[in-house]
Amino acid sequence: MKVFIIGGTGFLGYYSALELLQRGHEVATVSLPDIALGDWFPDQVAVEYGNVFEMSDVQLRELLAGYDAVVYAVGPDDRVKPKGDAYTFFHERLVLACGRVVAAARKAGVKRCVVLGSYFAYFDRVWQEQRLAAHHPYIRCRIEQAERVIREGGGKMDVMVLELPYIFGTMPERTPLWKDILVTMLMNSRIVFFPKGGTNMISVRHVGEAVAGAIETGQHGQRYTIGDVNMTWKQMLRMMLEGLGIGNKRIISLPCFLMNSTAKSMKKKEIAEGIQSGLDPLYLFRDIQCRQMWYDPTPSAKALGYGRGGIETAIDETMKACLKDV
């Protein structure tokens, strides 16, 4: 198939491109010119520079014409804290912009589409009593994004959504996002204090395999919850510390009630700065950080044929990449 990746020079798009090429597909992409593409980037991938958020509907249709499938691998994640109203920000970029691209793909004659989403949408379905979408604008928008793009298939294009967990791995020219999220804190803390709980996680190479599998065999309207290993925060942090060469640091897991003051301080800081997180700090620890966000990814792995394993190596490589600029 001829596959077009929106964001093919980004972290997830890059590994999706590598796997699709490995399987014999023809790959092209549109991306922002934010990094230099050297010998490491496959020359088989035709790269066009541009911003899909700024393109007209006509430009999008022209861009995607002649392709069999599209992978949508762009958009802000929950780390972004916009000025003003978070729901408005994420709705514009995750729901409206993505829906417009998917609609353009359908009108251009594309028959298959894979959209990369978040595993928070899965937990909103299985933890209905937590009301995650009501508390967190980012989660609400990820749910609305999936509903919108599946609807945009319009009976003419198969649309699948991959709900992704924590992802580890590296790529050339990009510093892992983990450096700002956790690594700086781990390096500077004498003792690491972190909430109880945990998450599912996966190597980025297997995400690329899942994307290719969805392109080839995914079923329209399916939300595939992608993952590999369930791990407590303490287990994950220990691996990260070892990868950073400071594995002897002590980690103390804090119960949720002790995080209440931290949550209130985070909320006050956001209000003072005029920003709003997509994950509301007042509910963050109760809803997410203090819970075991675990599940069995076996059904999705079997359906899409992606591999599992190697998370320890992926975490180690990620940490070492973060150290390069320290």
pLDDT in the model for residue 255: 92
Structure token pair of residue 106: 């359908």
SS3 5: strand
Let me know if 298 is exposed, middle or buried by CB neighbors in 10 A (0-12, 13-18, 19+). exposed
143-163 burial: b if 16+ Cβ within 10 Å, else e: bbbbebbbebbeeebbbbbbb
Per CATH, the architecture of 2-174+200-230+293-309 is what? 3-Layer(aba) Sandwich (3.40)
Residue 36 to residue 76: CA distance in whole angstroms: 21
pLDDT in the model for residue 228: 98
pLDDT in the model for residue 272: 95
Tens of pLDDT along the chain (326 residues) come to 999 999 999 999 999 999 999 999 999 999 999 999 999 999 999 999 999 999 999 999 999 999 999 999 999 999 999 999 999 999 999 999 999 999 999 999 999 999 999 999 999 999 999 999 999 999 999 999 999 999 999 999 999 999 999 999 999 999 999 998 899 999 999 999 999 999 999 999 999 999 999 999 999 999 999 999 999 999 999 999 999 999 999 999 999 999 988 999 999 999 999 999 999 999 999 999 999 999 999 999 999 999 999 999 999 999 999 998 65
**Residues constituting the chain:** 326
Where do the domains of the chain lie? Answer: 2-174+200-230+293-309
Residue 228 to residue 307: CA distance in whole angstroms: 9
Distances (CA, A) of 121 to 183, 301, 306: 26, 18, 21
